[in-house]
Amino acid sequence: MDREALKKNFEKHGFQTSFFHTCEEAVSYLKEQIRGETVAMGGSVTLKELELDKALSEHNVVIWHWNTPGMETLKRATGAHIYVTSANGVAATGELVNIDGNGNRVAMTLFGPRKVYFVVGRNKIAPDLTGALTRAKEIAAPKNVMRLEKKLPCRAAGGETCYDCNSPERICRATVILERPCALMEVEVVFIDQELGY
């Protein structure tokens, strides 16, 4: 992970950045940064691996539909001041890519919260935006389909690639490229020099 290049390119685009060698360091940092808030979290294997919901619950109200599934939780999340998610692809040139099915996760990174944290492992980083989009579509999305055990062609093929299907169960419905933080929010990218999520 080229910290200097990532810091330069993301900060040039108006993102804040922070860098950590380990998950423990990153979780401890986030616990310090986020206190006394209502925090919502996006669906994310990275966040689950970090057990960030438990860590943040010590000093915040945490809303996460992976703990309490359902529309009610998703609606409550829209009122959160802080949002934490990961990205499906991170361009080293300073852009973030996410693909969503329900749209709740990408929506929260565009409008609503005061601050959004993207927590990303080094495996999410691609050299440029084309690489980040390819990663999101060809790697992250099929692997999420495998996790969700949906009847989709990418799962039937072992989750190795995307077939740009037209299935009613398709989970890839909105692709958002964050080129800069949207005008009414701060965005910080928390880089962890470990493999996390997919």
Show the binding pattern over residues 9-28: x = contacts ligand SF4 (CB under 6 A), - = does not.
Answer: --------------------
Binding segment (CB under 6 A) for ligand SF4, from list 23-31, 87-95, 110-118, 137-145:
137-145
Please report how close the Cβ of residue 153 comes to ligand SF4 at its closest, in angstroms: 5
Stretch that binds ligand SF4, among 6-14, 29-37, 58-66, 145-153 (CB under 6 A): 145-153
Q: Which of 51, 160, 164, 179 binds ligand SF4 (CB under 6 A)?
A: 164
153 binds ligand SF4 (CB under 6 A): yes
State whether residue 129 is helix, strand or coil.
Answer: helix
Round to whole Å and give the CA distance between 155 and 149.
7
Phi then psi dihedrals of residue 26, to 5 deg:
-65, -45
**Looking at the chain, how many residues does it have?**
198
Q: Which residue has the tokens 């804040």?
A: 16
Nearer to ligand SF4, 31 or 170 (CB): 170
Q: Which is nearer to ligand SF4, 117 or 198 (CB)?
A: 198
3-state SS record for 131-171: HHHHHHHHHHHHHHHHHHCCCCHHHHCCCCCCCCCCCCCCC
Among residues 45, 110, 146, 165, the one that binds ligand SF4 under rule CB under 6 A: 165
Q: Which of 34, 107, 132, 162 binds ligand SF4 (CB under 6 A)?
A: 162
DSSP label at residue 173: -
- Amino acid in position 122: R
Tokens of 137: 């579509």
Q: Count CB atoms within 10 A of the CB of residue 45.
A: 17
Indicate which single residue of 39, 154, 178, 189 sits in contact with ligand SF4 (rule: CB under 6 A).
154
Contact 40, 68 (CB under 8 A): no
**Binders of ligand SF4 among 168-187, rule CB under 6 A?**
170-172
CB 197 → ligand SF4: shortest distance, Å?
16
Residue ranges in contact with ligand SF4 by CB under 6 A:
141-142, 145, 152-154, 162-165, 170-172
